Amino acid sequence: MNQTTLNPNQHINRRNFLRIGLGATATGAFLGFLPKAVAETCGLTPPQTPGPFYPGDENFTADNDLTRLPGRTERALGQVVYIQGKVLGQDCGPIAGANVEIWQAAASGRYNHGRDPNPAPLDPNFRYWGETFTDNEGNYSFKTIIPGAYPAGDGWSRPPHIHVRVAKLGFEELVTQMYFKGHPLNERDLILLRVPASERDRVVVDFQPAGLGFEPNSLKGEFDLTLKSVR
């Protein structure tokens, strides 16, 4: 499946925009969005491996809806979910203009990446990756689907998860993964288990019915991300 890619000038402009730290608003706001209250503790989000299927930053487009592609009438397969949250500093203050990227497998468990050996089918209506910028209050949001589990080795299957990368001038870049609370494979995942037990809840999200203002039968979860300052 062909994905929309940035031309070279777009790529340079976008990365220059990020490097100089100019503020920007999130590229899409969903009706009914209510920002999560800042947590009482703002411990750092545990970093995790980016995995082998990062699509390359030149392929990202400023789109936070992964469920549909331009020119297509059908929606991506799978359970629709909304991910909403804040990007925060260690002082619990919101970080405006942070670049947030996500990438993931389709509902079949396959990535749109040439190195993925999974024989499961690709979804021609799924975007597979997207990005946005936080608004002045640090809010970001994505609309996507729950990815499928997939075999990762002998006797080991990775649970559904979404890869996240956050970057902002003045803060250490964060690469992590987000998991779905209650999935049975979470308890045996070799990557999630590397996160200290006391910090695991920071990357496991509880999704609940999204309610009014969202796509019918969709789910919504809140995933705050805390960055370490380099100052």
**Residues belonging to the active site:** 111, 150, 158, 161, 163
Spacing of C-alpha 90 from chain mean position: 20
Strands 204-205 and 208-209: unpaired
User: What distance, in Å, lies between the first and last C-alpha atoms of the chain?
Assistant: 42
Measured CA distances, 227 to 17, 97, 157 (Å): 19, 13, 29
**Residues forming a β-bridge with 210:** none
Q: Going by C-beta distance under 8 Å and a sequence separation of 6 or more, which residues neighbour residue 152? A: 158, 190
- Report the C-alpha gap between 190 and 164 in whole angstroms: 18
- Quote the tokens at residue 208: 């609940």
